[in-house]
Amino acid sequence: MDDVRALIVDDDPEIRDLLSGYLAGYGVHAEAVGDGAAMRMAMANREFHVVILDLMLPAEDGLSLCRELRETGNIPVIILTARGETADRVLGLGLGADDYMVKPFEPRELVARIETVLRRARASEGAAPARREIVSFEGWSLNRIARQLVTPQELVVPLSNAEFRLLSAFIEHPRRVLSRDYLIDIARGRSADVFDRSIDLLVSRLRQKLNDDPKSPMLIKTIRGEGYMFDASVQ
């Protein structure tokens, strides 16, 4: 993984040193910081390919930082934390994390997961130009190269990586029922820990961004026992 630059955000200096040294052995140039403020400063001054983010941080927790990263860009995020409860995993993935690992962990597994999320990100970027750059539906438009969702009022709505992949899947298969398993594959990839509830949370978040009433959705409809359907004409 030569020339890969990783930003480690963890308040434990021993873990920062351990990960930095271990990743260096695999050609990853790692920089380690202890909180959200230092993370922002590092990202303002340097470009990184992946963020390895702890949940339990001083001042701001990792979930709020993950949400911020998703709203401001598409850099892959791997959550690394001692909090292994299912609810935490579902919430972290729902906020746009690309993967989730629980401490204690095997460093070699982290390297494998970094390789996977970077490969998935590069494949997604490489595939986009082959499709139509801008698609429209019900007054909305999605620029699939810039990854920008634009409202009928011409306001840009930020999308996480997972939200973008999910909306792209719906747009490519309008008025077809897509199973939850298929959508999990599209939104996350099988390498990530994904739970059934996480796709429901992701659909809920996408509905919110599309102003699609969850009690009576017009765009993303729930097909009980089968999955979801995007009920719109796509141009």
Q: What is the pLDDT of residues 112-167, one digit of tens each?
A: 888 888 887 776 655 444 456 788 999 999 987 778 899 999 899 988 888 888 89
Reported as a single tens digit per residue, the pLDDT across 198-234 is: 788 889 999 999 999 988 999 999 988 888 999 988 8
Residues 110 and 209 in one domain: no
Strand runs labelled E in the chain: 4-9, 28-33, 50-53, 77-81, 99-102, 134-137, 140-143, 148-150, 156-157, 177-179, 220-223, 227-230
Same domain, residue pair 21 and 120: yes
Q: Are residues 71 and 152 in the same domain?
A: no
Tokens (6 digits) for 126? 């490489």
Q: Which of 50-54, 92-96, 128-132 has the highest mean pLDDT?
A: 50-54
Q: Residue 98: which domain range?
A: 4-127
Same domain, 96 and 198: no
Q: Evaluate if residue 24 carries a pLDDT over 50.
A: yes
Single pTM value for the model: 0.55
Residue 30 has a pLDDT of 93
Q: Where are the beta strands (DSSP E) in 2-114?
A: 4-9, 28-33, 50-53, 77-81, 99-102
The rounded percent of the chain whose pLDDT value lies above 70 is: 84
Residue 6 has pLDDT above 90, yes or no: yes
Instruction: Please check whether residues 174 and 99 belong to one and the same domain.
Output: no
Return the pLDDT at 215. 87
Q: Does 235 reside within a domain?
A: no
Maximum pairwise Cα distance, the chain: 54
- Do 119 and 136 lie in one domain? The reply is no
At residue 29 the predicted structure's pLDDT band, cuts being 50, 70 and 90, is: very high
> Are residues 142 and 224 part of one domain?
yes
